[in-house]
Chain A
C-alpha cells in the first residue's frame, strides 16, 4: 500500500481526534454553566427556600408564586406510577427472556423490545390521550381528561424495554454452572430464579431500576400531552397535574423574552431536573460497579 502519511500529519490527526472527544466535556461545562448563570439570576429575586419549599407554582398568572413543590409532586406521581408498571413487568419479562425463552423466541423478542424502545415519546403521548385516558374514564368515571395516571402508565410502558433489556443482560451474565449446581441439588426453576439468578444479578437489576426512574423524571412529551398543565399539589393520580418537564415545554411554546424572570424560571426548573437525573445516573453507575459479582 502506498499510503504514507507524513509524521506531522499523524500528529495533527491525533489533535483533531482529541478535539472531537473534548466536545463532550465542553458540552457538560456549557450545560452546567448556562443552568448555573440563569438559576443564579433567578435566585437573586426569589429565595431558595421559597423556590424549594413553596407550595404554589404560578409564574405565569397573578398573583405570581414560585414554589416548586407542586411540580415536584407531579413528577413524583408520574415516577411512582411508571415504576409500578415498568419495574415488575420489566423484571418478569427479563426473567422470561433469560431463563425460559428458547433461543428462537429470544431472537424474535429482542428486536421487538428494541422497536418498543425506539418509538418516539410523542407517539406514547398520543396513545395516552386517545386510548389510555378514555379507557380509564370508563373504569373510573371521575378521571379528568388530563390526568397523571394515564401519563404514568404510558411512561411505564415506555421505560419497560430498557428495564427488561438491562435486567436480561444482568441475568445472562450469571454463569450457567451456578444454575446447574442448584438444579442438580433438586431446585425447581422458580427456586433457581429467585434464589440464585436474581440475587446474583441484583446489582444490574437495581441499576436498571434507578435508570428507569431517571428516564421517567426526564420524560417530556407524553406527560405534556396527557398529564395536563395545572401545577397541583396532589397525590391523586386521576387529577390533572404538571411535571417539571411539562412546565418547561408550556413556557417555551409561548414567546418568552430572554432575561425576564419567567425565562429564568425555565433554567431554575431545568437545574433541579438536571441535578436529580445526574445524581440518579451516577448512583446507577456506582451500584453497577460496586456490587457487581465477579466470576472467574
Chain B
C-alpha cells in the first residue's frame, strides 16, 4: 500500500515537473511573441514610403530613416568585405596549416576569449586606435574596422568548426593524387565546408547590423541629414537612430523608434531564415 501511494506520488511529481518545463518554455516563446506584437502595433502605422525615404527630423511626422538605412548598408558591406576574407583565411590557417604548437593553442584560446569581450570594449578600442591614433575620425571606415574586429572571432569560430567537419579522407585522397596543400584547400576543403561557413558568416553579419554600443563609442552621429558617399564620410546607423528616438521622452518618437525596430527585425529575420535554409540544404546534401 505504502509503495503504491509512493509510486502514485512519484508519477504525480514527474507529471507536474513535465508541465512546469513545458509551461516555462511556452512562457519564454510567449514573451518573444509579445515583444514582436508590441513593437509592430506601435510601429506599423508609421511604416510607409515616406518613413523610408526621409531624413530624421525634429517633427515626428516628417522624420524617416533614409540616412540610417543607407548608413547601415554602407557599414555592413564594408564590414563584410573586411571581416569575411580575414576570418575565413584565419580559420583555414588554424585548421589546415598550423601545427599544434603553444602559439597555435594561444591563438585558439585567445579567439574564444575575444568572442566573450563586451562589445563596448571593442568600441573603446576603435575610439583609441582608429578614430584617434590613425585619425580616421568618425568615419564609416572607423566603424567598419571596429565592427570587423568585433565579429572576427564569431566568423573564425564558426568557420573553424565547418572546416573541421570536412572528413580527413577527402584531403588524403587529394594529396594522394599529388595536389598541393593550397589546391586541396581551394578545390576540396572550402567547397565542402561552405554551407557551415556561410551560416556562421550570416549570423556574424546580423550581429554587426544590430550592434549599437561600439558605434556610439566611436562617435557615429545621432542626427544625420545626408547620405554617406564614401568610406571617409560621417554616418549614422539604424540601431543608433532607434536608440536616439527611444531615449526621447515624447510618445511619437517612441512610435518612430518601433517603426525603425520593425525594419531592423525584418532585415535580421530574413538573414536568419537564409542561414537556416543554407544549413538545411547543407545537411540534406550530406
Interface residues of A (CB under 8 A from B): 1, 3, 5, 9-10, 13-14, 16-18, 20-25, 27-28, 30-31, 34-35, 38, 88-89, 92-93, 95-97, 99-100, 109, 111-112, 114-116, 118-123, 125-127, 129-131, 157, 160, 164, 188-191, 193, 211, 214-215, 217-221, 225, 245, 248-249, 252-253, 258, 266-267, 270, 273-274, 277-278, 280-282, 285
Q: A14-B93, A211-B116 are in contact. Are A95 and B21 (CB under 8 A)?
A: yes
**What's the A-B contact tally at a CB cutoff of 8 Å?**
253
**CB pair B25 A109 closer than 8 Å:** yes
25 examples of A-B residue contacts, CB within 8 angstroms: A5-B182, A14-B93, A18-B98, A21-B90, A23-B152, A24-B114, A24-B153, A25-B106, A27-B114, A31-B124, A88-B24, A97-B25, A119-B210, A120-B211, A125-B243, A126-B39, A127-B35, A130-B246, A190-B16, A218-B118, A221-B212, A249-B120, A252-B219, A270-B121, A281-B116
Q: Please classify the interface of chain A as helix (H, G, I), strand (E, B), loop, or mixed, using the class held by over half of its residues.
A: helix
| B129 and A34 contact, CB distance less than 8 A | yes
Interchain CB contact (< 8 A) of B107 among A21, A119, A225: A21
Please judge, given known A-B contacts A115-B32, A126-B261, whether A10 and B180 are in contact too, CB under 8 Å: yes
* A270 and B21 contact, Cβ closer than 8 Å, known pairs A17-B89, A111-B276: no
Q: How far is the CB of A148 from chain B (nearest CB, A)?
A: 17
Top 3 nearest A-B pairs (CB, nearest first) are A218-B118, A120-B210, A17-B93
Chain A residues near B276: list those with CB within 8 A.
111, 114
A34 touching B124 in the complex, CB below 8 Å, given contacts A24-B114, A120-B210: yes
Interface residue stretch chosen among B53-61, B162-170, B227-235, B265-273: B265-273
Please determine whether B28 and A122 come into contact, CB atoms closer than 8 angstroms.
no
Q: Is the interface of B mostly helix, strand, loop or mixed?
A: helix
Contacts A114-B272, A157-B31, A245-B120 known; A24 to B213 CB distance under 8 Å? no
Are A25 and B110 also in contact (CB < 8 A) when A20-B93, A249-B213 are?
yes
Most chain B beta-carbon contacts within 10 A, residue among A16, A20, A129? A20
Interchain nearest-CB distance for B87 vs A (Å)? 8
Which chain A residues lie closer than 8 Å to B210 at the CB level? 118-123
B118–A93 CB distance below 8 A: no
Q: Which of B6-14, B44-52, B62-70 contacts A (4 or more CB under 8 A)?
A: B6-14
Q: How far is the CB of A56 from chain B (nearest CB, A)?
A: 23
**Alpha-carbon distance A95/B28, docked complex (angstroms):** 14
Known: A17-B90, A21-B89, A252-B217. 10 other contacts (CB 8 A): A1-B187, A17-B93, A17-B97, A28-B113, A109-B29, A126-B258, A190-B18, A220-B212, A249-B216, A253-B216
B25 adjacent to A31 (CB under 8 Å): no
Q: Which residue in B27, B124, B203 is a CB contact (below 8 Å) of A35?
A: B124
User: With the chains together, A35 CA to B38 CA distance in Å?
Assistant: 40
B66-86 residues at the A interface, CB under 8 angstroms: 85-86
Known: A126-B258, A130-B42, A248-B120. Contact between A24 and B107, CB under 8 A? yes
**Which chain A positions have C-beta within 8 A of B120?**
218, 220, 245, 248-249, 270, 273
B89 & A20 in contact (Cβ 8 Å cutoff): yes
| B-side contacts of A129, CB under 8 Å | 246, 254
A226, closest chain B residue (CB): B246
Closest CB in chain A relative to B99 CB, distance in Å: 12
List of A residues within 8 angstroms of B173 by Cβ: none
Of chain A, the residue at the smallest CB distance from B264 is A120
Which residues of chain A come closer than 8 Å to B153, judged between CB atoms? 24
For residue B181, CB closer than 8 A to chain A, the reply is yes
Is the pair A126, B246 in contact by a Cβ cutoff of 8 Å?
Answer: yes
Q: For chain B residues 175-221, which have a beta carbon within 8 Å of chain A? A: 180-183, 186-187, 203, 206-207, 209-213, 216-217, 219
Tell me the minimal C-beta distance from A292 to chain B in angstroms.
Answer: 15
